[in-house]
């Protein structure tokens, strides 16, 4: 399911980054990414199914959610991932559906897809972009006040 989100204002933001001192740009980029991942992370978390069988070795997916933000200072760019760490395979099974198969090849019932991650990405796309833009602009403006 392709997501055709149109982002406007990137050229203006890139030009603002070129003009601003590097440290200001990096600070604004970090604040923007934190704001964006907070919005998207909350949406993913709110849609993550809760198992009734969670244990210390098999936790709820929501308890395994991780956010990773990486900023490339040299390129002036950033990348964020929201996932479920070592439990990521379970999140994919839930999101895309799966069938239990024993080591002996016996097949259990098919568990239909519950596309909570894909729906979260679609649902929160606009708010995530807006949160990034707002935090980014606010961080730059704070430096020049």
Query: What pLDDT digit, counting tens, does each position of 28-78 carry?
Result: 999 999 999 999 999 999 999 887 665 556 678 888 899 999 998 888 789
The residue with tokens 């003009």 is 19
As given in the structure block, the two tokens for residue 100 are: 């239990």
Report d(CA 104, CA 92) in Å as an integer.
23
Nearest to 31 by CA among 143, 144, 145: 143
As given in the structure block, the two tokens for residue 130 are: 């807006």
Domain chopping of the chain, boundaries: 10-50+115-143
| Burial zone of 13 (CB within 10 Å; 0-12 exposed, 13-18 middle, 19+ buried) | buried
Q: How far apart are the first and last CA of the chain?
A: 44
pLDDT score of 119? 94
The residue with tokens 């799966």 is 98
Per-residue pLDDT tens for 106-142? 999 998 999 999 999 999 999 999 999 999 999 988 8
As given in the structure block, the two tokens for residue 40 are: 């998207």
pLDDT score of 4? 61
- For residue 12, pLDDT beyond 90: no
């Amino acid at each position: 399911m392709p997501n055709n989100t149109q982002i406007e204002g990137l050229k203006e933001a890139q030009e603002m980054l070129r003009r601003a001192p590097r440290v200001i740009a990096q600070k604004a980029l970090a604040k923007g990414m934190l704001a964006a991942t907070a919005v998207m992370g909350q949406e993913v978390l709110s849609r993550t199914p809760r198992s009734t069988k969670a244990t210390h070795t098999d936790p709820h997916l929501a308890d395994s959610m991780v956010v990773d933000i990486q900023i490339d200072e040299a390129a002036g760019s950033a990348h964020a991932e929201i996932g479920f760490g070592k439990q990521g395979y379970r999140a994919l099974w839930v999101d895309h559906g799966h069938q239990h198969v024993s080591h002996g090849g016996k097949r259990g019932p098919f568990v239909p897809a519950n596309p909570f991650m894909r729906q979260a990405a679609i649902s929160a796309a606009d708010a995530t972009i807006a949160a990034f833009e707002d935090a980014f602009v606010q961080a730059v403006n704070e430096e020049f006040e």
